[in-house]
């Protein structure tokens, strides 16, 4: 590795660590949230004025033979002003917190988009689409509660009962204790129900990931599974994920239903009303004070219940924030400040060693040269490392040892722009964006005009199919363009043709094509591969008989290399694979 690359890659200890947690996500708006909390505090305190006013008005009517109407009207004004101030404070507080939430959500999404644009491409293959989608969409939405509501709700839910109870203790501490008993019992039941909550939330998160993954795979892969008659199995996986989630929810929520119902009943308005009235009669309390207890004690249940719901939502938001923080802390590909431009299309794998986890070696000492304009095929049993080797070239991951070079330049010393101008790839997994066919083909060259796009589509044997769509090249994938697996693969091949990169990686590009489309895909590939440095990862050996060189991998090492006829004559692993596949083809012919 060159000195420039070494200098540009921070060590594990020196690399800045991304802090994690909800507090970090809220840090940019903490001042605004503090202002909102202060306003909500003022509103909660002033909001008790109407209740105090009612008590004082009751004293005037019940304690005096002659009512002081001036005093009564004064308390009416106090009640009205208190109500108005509370409403204004709450409105301003929630406006501030919701604007802060919009800013936090925008910032999180921008940071995640930037981070995902800099992580290794292999990071996406290691994670399901459903899991990534959940973090980008669902988890950011879950953080909304923590920003927009939790501070205001907690202030209101804590301050209002505490101040109300303090006022009631001033009026009659004995009756206040009686009214406090249901709240203490409620907190005890809730604490019991919340035991082991962290473990249950982790299980809930895992089950949701399974459902999201099953949904995305079922929807995005429906064309492929239908082409191979596997729609029933795909539906079964989706149903199983949903059933597992429902089963866990039943196991979790079922035992809690009775306790939750009892807890909610204990602090319901009718129960609190009976407690206040019964306690007042038993203690022979002052009628005006009983009125205060009836109004305030009955209202204690609502903020306490809100606090319980808020705690549950806060737990969800906290877990979501952890997953967002984990994504934001995903290691990025190393970058060098001194980039180099390749000269030519010669590809070298120089003593390459690689492992996914730092322990199990997948590739061990690979030395391989791909000369410009030649076709090199990688073959081997599943797990031999051929797809991994092919994906090191477009830098899905970085090697642990050795180097991968294009035109004499280490791929780690190239800018991303230069790398993907030199290396194109068509993999088994065909991904089309949910936008127009035109934009899908022009993904690698957005500036291409329609003439160039159509020429690439003709070369990929897909132009006629596109023109048969309702809006031709403007038809949107998934809306008015529903393509088979083979048709989608030819769109991706047209994309690669238009990108016109001198180096190309093909990972069994016909693997997911339906039988009727395979011939068309092969014709499209013949247009794509002409004159390029081509690396083919092959599973069907008959498709690479004419390759300039066939490299056989086993256990992460190169065990044989040569032309088809030479490898057959030499015997060994390639000859055995050829004989096995030939026998299968004869049986199915």
Torsion sign (Cα): 12, 14, 15, 19: positive
Domain boundary pick from 299, 328, 357: 328
| Rounded-to-5 percentages of helix, strand, coil across the chain | 65, 10, 25
Domain boundary pick from 301, 328, 355: 328
Q: Where are the alpha helices (DSSP H) in 429-468?
A: 437-441, 450-459, 463-467
* Beta strands at 375-380 and 533-537: parallel, antiparallel or unpaired: parallel
pLDDT of residue 524: 62
Q: Are residues 143 and 283 located together in one domain of the fold?
A: yes
Q: Are residues 62 and 204 located together in one domain of the fold?
A: yes
Q: Are residues 351 and 322 located together in one domain of the fold?
A: no
In a domain, residue 129? The reply is yes
Contact criterion met (CB below 8 Å) for 429 and 480:
no
pLDDT of residue 518: 57
Helix (H) / strand (E) element for 140: namely helix 140-145
Q: Are residues 137 and 250 located together in one domain of the fold?
A: yes
In a domain, residue 455? The reply is yes
Domain enclosing residue 278, as ranges: 19-328
Q: Are residues 318 and 352 located together in one domain of the fold?
A: no
Contact criterion met (CB below 8 Å) for 402 and 349:
yes
Domain boundary pick from 295, 328, 361: 328
pTM, entire model: 0.58
Q: Are residues 322 and 354 located together in one domain of the fold?
A: no
Q: Are residues 367 and 308 located together in one domain of the fold?
A: no
In a domain, residue 283? The reply is yes
Q: Are residues 31 and 159 located together in one domain of the fold?
A: yes
In a domain, residue 494? The reply is yes
**Rounded CA Rg of the chain:** 34
In a domain, residue 56? The reply is yes
Among candidates 373, 369, 346, 379, which has minimal Cα distance to 544? Answer: 379
Q: Are residues 160 and 246 located together in one domain of the fold?
A: yes
pLDDT of residue 467: 92
In a domain, residue 360? The reply is yes
In a domain, residue 339? The reply is no
- Mean pLDDT, consecutive 10-residue stretches, the chain (589 aa), reads 36 39 77 91 88 83 76 90 92 92 85 77 62 72 78 82 85 87 84 70 70 64 48 62 72 69 81 86 84 81 73 75 80 78 89 85 90 88 86 87 92 86 80 86 88 88 89 88 81 86 79 56 64 83 84 90 89 86 68
Q: Are residues 230 and 323 located together in one domain of the fold?
A: yes
Q: Are residues 172 and 201 located together in one domain of the fold?
A: yes
- Residue 522 Cα distances to 116, 225, 414, angstroms: 33, 21, 32
In a domain, residue 12? The reply is no
pLDDT of residue 20: 47
pLDDT of residue 198: 67
In whole angstroms, what is the distance from residue 586 CA to residue 580 CA?
A: 10
pLDDT of residue 186: 83
What's the CATH number where 568 sits? 3.40.50.300
What's the CATH number where 29 sits? 1.20.1560.10
Q: Are residues 323 and 351 located together in one domain of the fold?
A: no
Count of structural domains within the chain: 2
């Amino acid at each position: 590795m060159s000195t420039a690359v070494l200098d540009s890659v921070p060590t594990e200890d020196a690399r800045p660590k991304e802090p994690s947690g909800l507090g970090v996500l809220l840090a940019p708006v903490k001042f605004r949230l503090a202002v909102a909390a202060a306003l909500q505090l003022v509103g909660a305190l002033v909001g008790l004025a109407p209740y105090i006013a009612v008590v004082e008005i009751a004293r005037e009517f019940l304690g005096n033979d002659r009512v002081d109407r001036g005093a009564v009207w004064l308390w009416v004004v106090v009640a009205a002003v208190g109500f108005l101030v509370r409403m204004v404070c709450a409105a301003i507080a929630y406006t501030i917190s919701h604007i802060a939430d919009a800013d936090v959500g925008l910032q999180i999404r921008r940071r995640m988009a930037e981070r995902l644009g800099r992580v290794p491409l292999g990071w996406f293959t290691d994670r399901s689409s459903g899991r990534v989608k959940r973090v980008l969409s669902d988890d950011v939405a879950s953080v909304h509660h923590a920003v927009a509501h939790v501070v205001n709700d907690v202030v209101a839910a804590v301050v209002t009962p505490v101040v109300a109870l303090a006022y009631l203790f001033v009026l009659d501490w004995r009756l206040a204790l009686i009214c406090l008993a249901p709240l203490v019992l409620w907190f005890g039941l809730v604490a019991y129900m919340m035991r082991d909550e962290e473990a249950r939330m982790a299980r809930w998160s895992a089950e949701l990931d399974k459902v999201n993954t099953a949904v995305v795979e079922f929807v995005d892969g429906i064309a492929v599974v239908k082409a191979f008659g596997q729609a029933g199995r795909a539906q079964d996986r989706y149903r199983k994920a949903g059933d597992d989630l429902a089963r866990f929810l039943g196991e979790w929520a079922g035992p809690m239903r009775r306790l939750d119902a009892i807890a909610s009943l204990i602090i319901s308005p009718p129960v609190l009303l009976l407690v206040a009235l019964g306690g007042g009669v038993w203690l022979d309390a002052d009628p005006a004070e009983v009125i205060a207890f009836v109004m305030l004690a009955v209202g204690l249940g609502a903020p306490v219940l809100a606090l319980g719901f808020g705690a549950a939502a806060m737990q969800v938001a906290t877990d979501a924030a952890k997953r967002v923080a984990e994504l934001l802390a995903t290691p990025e590909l190393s970058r060098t400040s001194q980039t180099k431009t390749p000269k030519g299309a010669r590809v070298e794998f120089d003593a390459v060693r690689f492992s996914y986890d730092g322990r199990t070696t997948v590739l061990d000492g690979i030395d391989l040269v791909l000369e410009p304009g030649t076709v090199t095929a990688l073959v081997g049993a599943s797990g031999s490392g051929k797809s991994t080797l092919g994906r090191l070239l477009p830098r899905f991951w970085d090697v642990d040892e050795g180097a991968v070079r294009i035109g004499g330049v280490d791929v780690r010393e190239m800018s991303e722009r230069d790398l993907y101008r030199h290396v194109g790839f068509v993999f088994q997994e065909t991904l089309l964006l949910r936008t127009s066919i035109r934009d899908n083909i022009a993904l690698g060259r957005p500036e291409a005009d329609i003439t160039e796009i159509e020429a690439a589509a003709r070369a990929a044997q897909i132009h006629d199919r596109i023109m048969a769509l309702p809006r031709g090249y403007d038809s949107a994938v998934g809306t008015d363009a529903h393509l088979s697996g083979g048709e989608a693969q030819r769109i991706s091949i047209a994309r690669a043709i238009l990108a016109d990169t001198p180096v190309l990686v093909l990972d069994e590009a016909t693997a997911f094509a339906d039988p009727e489309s395979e011939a068309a895909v092969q014709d499209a590939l013949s247009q794509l591969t002409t004159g390029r440095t081509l690396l083919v990862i092959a599973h069907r050996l008959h498709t690479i008989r004419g390759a300039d060189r066939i490299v056989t991998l086993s256990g992460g090492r190169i065990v044989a290399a040569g032309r088809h006829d030479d490898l057959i004559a030499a015997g060994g692993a390639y000859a055995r694979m050829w004989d096995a596949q030939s026998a299968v083809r004869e049986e199915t012919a």
